[in-house]
């Protein structure tokens, strides 16, 4: 599940559930030094791209979480739940401070304590995040406009843009009719501006709904005479993981190709490779 919208939503949910409350912090699996946070007060959770940071009172270091490909946080009402599977970090707040709640972290790529300086170093490497109001898309344009790398690859490079994953990149390129293999420097500034503002919009919708929905109203199943059923990614998309299936707009089979070790999906008719640049 984890593209940037997942982490921002998680930051909101964790903050809503735990802010200001005294924690119990454990690592049932034993691979995180959770005891350093035990008994302290949760301050807030914040997301930058696909990274999540948790700050705790009287602990100058921050918890840095990266979910990787299959990590996930699960929030559950109540405490004292049986531990199921490998729980890296379990956070609870008791009825003494509000609703009893438990958060279990499983399968993360990273769950570690970082000093503020280390956090700054990490953040300095991230490109602008469409979900952060202070993000500067111009920084990304500087990189893109000078690069011969395909735009589809640049969109997944977290030092160019942060928070975009395989679903959003496929979907945003479809929505703008852009060939995913187009070299960055052949993209026009207008195209980049449109992509950026659409990412801001799509990812905000993603945070609100906690899933990825990218299909415009006029292409929704009701409008197109096809079954109204969300796919197994939770939302409704144009091309992601729809290889061979008919394009929702023109009916052409969706194409797929492994590019830079990631599956890429696009509609060869709606996103033609023979477009004249500029």
Question: What are the residue numbers of the active site?
Answer: 2-3, 50, 262
Site for DNA in 101-160 (CB under 7 A): 106-107, 109, 156, 158
Of residues 101, 144, 167, 215, which one binds DNA by CB under 7 A? 167
- Name residues whose C-beta falls within 8 Å of residue 167's C-beta, 6 or more positions apart in sequence: 3, 212, 233, 237, 240
- For DNA (CB under 7 A), the number of binding residues is 34
List of residues 6+ apart from 32 with CB closer than 8 A: 88, 89, 111, 112
Residues 40, 66, 81, 143: which binds DNA (CB under 7 A)? 66
Bridging pattern class, strands 59-66 and 255-259? unpaired
Burial class, 265, CB count within 10 angstroms (exposed 0-12 / middle 13-18 / buried 19+): buried
In this chain, which of 128, 130, 137, 165 binds DNA, going by CB under 7 A? 165
CB of 49 to DNA, least distance (A): 6
Token representation of residue 105? 């972290």
Tell me which stretch binds DNA (CB under 7 A): 40-48, 113-121, 219-227, 232-240. Answer: 232-240
Q: Closest by alpha carbon to 32, among 54, 4, 15?
A: 54
Shortest distance in whole angstroms from residue 164 CB to DNA? 7
Binding site for DNA (CB under 7 A): 1-3, 6, 29, 31, 49-50, 66, 68-72, 84-86, 106-107, 109, 156, 158, 165-167, 212, 232-234, 241, 260-263
């Amino acid at each position: 599940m984890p593209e940037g919208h997942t982490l921002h939503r998680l930051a909101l949910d964790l903050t809503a559930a735990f802010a200001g409350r005294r924690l119990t912090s454990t690592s049932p699996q034993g691979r995180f030094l959770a005891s350093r946070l035990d008994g302290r007060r949760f301050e807030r959770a914040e997301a930058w791209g696909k990274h999540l940071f948790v700050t705790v009172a009287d602990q100058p270091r921050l918890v840095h979480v990266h979910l990787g490909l299959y990590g996930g946080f699960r929030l559950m009402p109540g405490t004292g739940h049986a531990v199921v599977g490998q729980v890296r970090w379990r956070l609870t707040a008791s009825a003494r401070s509000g609703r009893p709640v438990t958060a279990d972290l499983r399968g993360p790529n990273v769950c570690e304590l970082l000093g503020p300086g280390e956090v700054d170093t990490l953040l300095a490497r991230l490109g602008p995040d469409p979900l952060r109001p202070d993000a500067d898309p111009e920084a990304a344009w500087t990189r893109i406009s000078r690069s011969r790398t395909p735009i589809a690859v640049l969109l997944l490079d977290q030092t160019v843009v942060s928070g975009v994953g395989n679903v959003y990149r496929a979907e945003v390129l479809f929505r703008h009719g852009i060939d995913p293999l187009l070299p960055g420097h052949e993209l026009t500034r207008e195209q980049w501006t449109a992509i950026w503002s659409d990412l801001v919009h799509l990812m905000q919708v993603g945070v609100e709904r906690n899933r990825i929905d990218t299909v415009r109203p006029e292409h929704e199943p009701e409008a197109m005479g096809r079954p109204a059923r969300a796919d197994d990614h939770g939302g409704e998309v144009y091309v992601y993981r729809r290889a061979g299936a008919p394009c929702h707009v023109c009916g052409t089979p969706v194409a797929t190709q492994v590019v830079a070790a990631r599956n890429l999906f696009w509609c060869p008719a709606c996103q033609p490779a023979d477009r004249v640049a500029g």
